[in-house]
Amino acid sequence: MTDLARLVGDIAREMADLPERGEVATYIPPLAAIDPGRFGLCVVTADGAIHLAGDALEPFSIQSISKVFALTQALGKVGEALWSRVGREPSGTPFNSIVQLEREQGIPRNPFINAGALVVADINLAGHAPRVAIGELLRFVRHLADDESIVIDEIVARAEQATGFRNIALANYMKAFGTIRHAPELTLGVYFHQCAIAMSCRQLAMAGRFLMHGGLHAPGGARIVPARRARRINALMLTCGHYDASGDFAFRVGLPGKSGVGGGILAIAPGKASIAVWSPGLNASGNSQLGTLALERLADATGWSVFAEA
């Protein structure tokens, strides 16, 4: 067994026994029913080796991690023009906050807070019916992961459509500023469905490979995005991927990462690894409590922090 294989197993064993697991998200009713005892970890290294531990093959709701794939898709459609509609600064506010929008003319701080992700969904919707836009994103994610079995959990999507009043407020507020161009319910439909994509840690880590390989699907493989775009997406994940806890995540883990309220985190060690972790209990900022701790352990043991000496 390699050192990394042993490390991944050791981290999963340590996490399995910890009593302080955070709180599962309850504002999306189906997520409230998920067992907080679950834990999965998958590390895909640059040479293509895959290390799995715990519930790494169990699909969960990727929620805001979908914002990475949706942003990649939107940049492919409109390129740099995207930045006239969404900023690229950390917000220092919770993921679902509305407070900056009034002062900043309806332009969200970054594409990873909900307001910004709604604008990205609106861009992906242009010229399409919502069903087609979401189908395109699902196909893209399946392609990235080399896995046709990835699906959308319709129960989660419908639950958010019925209860996502903060997101409904954000979309309507931005519609008033013109940053959302479609009927808000159409843009929200795309957003709720992308958040309801269900993936396992293995599928997520595979889908993140293009961000470890400078934009390539795999070494020597097809180009998904230009190298500069991959660097920039990683930069946004590092600075904005954990909302008002992005600084703390950079401090503790030191890797570009994107969390979701389903308890998943996708983290990238550029040139080294694509990592996905899942533990449904969240900390006060809505990020996976043990997922963060597991990544901290992994980054400490491997020296993969982007701030480490080479």
Candidate list 12, 144, 195, 253; residue touching ligand GLN; CB under 6 A: 195
Residue 167 sits in the site that holds ligand GLN (CB under 6 A): yes
Active-site residue (options: 61, 64, 246, 279) = 64
d(C-alpha 214, C-alpha 232), whole Å: 10
Total site size for ligand GLN, rule CB under 6 A: 11
Judged on CB neighbours under 10 Å (0-12, 13-18, 19+), 5 is: middle
Using CA atoms, how far residue 9 sits from 1, 31, 34, 46, 147, in Å, is 11, 26, 23, 19, 24
Token pair belonging to 273: 């690894």
Please identify, using beta-carbon distances, which residue of 111 and 270 lies nearer to ligand GLN.
111
Q: Within a 10 A sphere around the Cβ of 227, how many other Cβ atoms?
A: 12
Residue 278 sits in the site that holds ligand GLN (CB under 6 A): no
Candidate list 8, 53, 60, 63; residue touching ligand GLN; CB under 6 A: 63
| Residue 261 annotated as catalytic | yes
Please identify, using beta-carbon distances, which residue of 188 and 211 lies nearer to ligand GLN.
188
| Residue 67 annotated as catalytic | yes
Candidate list 58, 76, 96, 169; residue touching ligand GLN; CB under 6 A: 96
Token pair belonging to 13: 């064993």
Candidate list 45, 64, 72, 239; residue touching ligand GLN; CB under 6 A: 64
d(C-alpha 156, C-alpha 158), whole Å: 5
Closest by Cα among 285, 56, 25, 284 to 163: 25
Active-site residue (options: 191, 246, 258, 306) = 191
DSSP, collapsed to helix, strand or coil, labels residue 126 as: coil
Please identify, using beta-carbon distances, which residue of 63 and 91 lies nearer to ligand GLN.
63
Active-site residue (options: 43, 44, 86, 261) = 261
| Residue 64 annotated as catalytic | yes
Q: Annotated catalytic sites, by residue?
A: 64, 67, 191, 243, 261
